[in-house]
Chains A and B, each alone.
Chain A
Amino acid sequence: MAKYKFENELNECLERLLSGTETIEQCLQRYPDDASELEPLLRTAASIHKAVDVTPSPELKARVLYNLRLKMAEVGKPRRASWWGLQPRWASAAVAVMLVFVLGGGAVLAADSSMPGSPLYPIKIITENISLKLASSDIEKAELSLTFADRRVEEMDYMMANSKYNIDDADEVASRYIGNLDRVTILSSDVESFESETGAAMTEAQRDTTAAQSPATLSGAAVPTPSESEETTEPTPPPQVTLTVPPATTSESTVKSSEETEQDELNKMIQYYTYNHPKKLDKWLSDPNVPEKNKIVIRRMLQNAKGLKTWK
């Protein structure tokens, strides 16, 4: 699609501009057809780049390093966190979650790229579930669901390329994928409680009772946490790193404009994924080496991908 081509061109120009290897004029010469659209964006980007090029003074850097060295001497050797990022018992609830995230951050980050079958994969799913619970708006939940759906496609892609996976693994991933897309559809219908009112719409894989309950509780945190009394079939892991920057002190019309822009952004994401996911899944359907039972699973995902509608 032309839109994605333009975004790629813009990004390539930005990479060269920001690294100083090319000027704006050189970039425009490379893409003459889109030059008129590229130029204002590149000039804006150049202005921003210059503005944020704040170089800290050597004195500042030395001062911070000095203080850091004092702290390092105090701390001694960095401590190792447990697998689940358990925090010390003495930590208050508010500090506990932050410590879990930072101390357990290595494991969480590592889990992000894990695949079904990896010991870290349950952490990946746990982290996704808690991200959804911490999302502050339906649009944010929908965006997260789309991102997670994208991960399911990557996982399916990986599994198809590694034929060691069995049909049950593929089925589980497909069910999660469908669940992610269902969530987007249901949220756009403004259903108040996804868990209570859409239980029939959820697939069995959504009720994941196999993921271990993380002792890293969310009872109070530096970032919003789910209620501890809320019943859920999914464990309550550490919060995701989502920047919940408070809105600017702007007028109501500006806030409303920001919500409309977020919806536009969400719809762009939906369009992007409904374009890209079928492309990725289709290639496996036409591969004669893929077993028919796996193709059945992929067809289910494809049907849902093509059926996803943008929000009104």
Chain B
Amino acid sequence: MQDDKGLVHKARQGDKEAFAALYESHFDRIYRYVVMKIGNRAEAEDMTQQVFVKAYESMGSYQWQGTPFSAWLFRIAHNQIVDFIRKESKKPTVWLDESLPIAGNSDPQGEIEVKLNIEQVTVAAQQLTKAQREVISLRFAGEMSITEVAKAMRKSEGAIKALQHSAIQALRKTLKAGKHDGKI
């Protein structure tokens, strides 16, 4: 895999193949992040495309100064999601498949690994605070390191670790209790 820094430099000069290589390298993570945030895969496809279009259009102003290119992409994705949610009068409704096993009170320790789908995680994540939700999305869907998340969210690494801890705790409680009302 080519170095992002070198590809970014070439893409800024207008090298479309270099940008296409960046696309190949980051598409999956951005797509997963968008799907997790909006819970709609069809919309996520369009939105992911828009992220890369905007990134290409703005490459001229991006400067590699310690902040990873991926963090910049996630910020663009973040803005796209904000716009999308504002435009929508209501979020798409996805009914959960209630046959999927979710650990309930019969398993108070909740030690088994539960089979979930991304829509269920999206719904459960609505019970989190904004910051917790963002950390979970960037860490799990975006596969970003603590350092990258800290830079993207402009918080300290310690704060991100604390948010990560409280978010997973809260999600565990939500998923165990089945607090997701069955729809997004």
| Chain A interface (Cβ < 8 Å from any Cβ of B) | 4, 6-8, 10-11, 14-15, 18, 39-41, 43-56, 60-61, 63-65, 67-69, 71-73, 75-81, 85, 98, 101-107, 109-110, 112-113, 143, 147, 150, 222-223, 240-250, 254, 258, 261-262, 264-265, 268-269, 272, 276
Q: Which residues of chain B from 49 to 82 have a CB within 8 Å of any chain A CB?
A: 49, 52-54, 56-63, 65-67, 71-72, 75-76, 78-79, 81-82
Q: Is the CB of B82 within 8 A of A105?
A: no
| Chain B interface (Cβ < 8 Å from any Cβ of A) | 11-14, 16, 19-20, 23-24, 27-28, 31-32, 35-37, 41, 45, 48-49, 52-54, 56-63, 65-67, 71-72, 75-76, 78-79, 81-83, 85-86, 90-91, 109-118, 120-121, 126-127, 129-134, 136, 139-141, 143, 145-146, 151, 154-156, 158-159, 161-166, 168-172, 175, 181
- How many Å lie between the Cα of A47 and that of B156 in the bound state? 27
- How many Å lie between the Cα of A69 and that of B118 in the bound state? 29
B82 CB to nearest A CB, Å: 6
Closest-by-CB residue of B relative to A76 is B14
Q: Is the CB of B113 within 8 A of A43?
A: yes
- How many Å lie between the Cα of A76 and that of B172 in the bound state? 48
Given contacts A40-B172, A222-B79, A265-B132, contact A52 B118 (CB under 8 A): yes
- How many Å lie between the Cα of A77 and that of B37 in the bound state? 31
Sample (8) of A-B pairs whose CB atoms are under 8 Å apart: A8-B161, A10-B164, A44-B171, A49-B140, A77-B14, A78-B14, A112-B67, A147-B156
Closest-by-CB residue of B relative to A241 is B75
Interface of B is mostly: helix
Q: Is the CB of A54 within 8 A of B16?
A: no
Q: Is the CB of A72 within 8 A of B16?
A: yes
Question: Contacts of B159 on A, CB cut-off 8 Å?
Answer: 147, 150, 269, 272
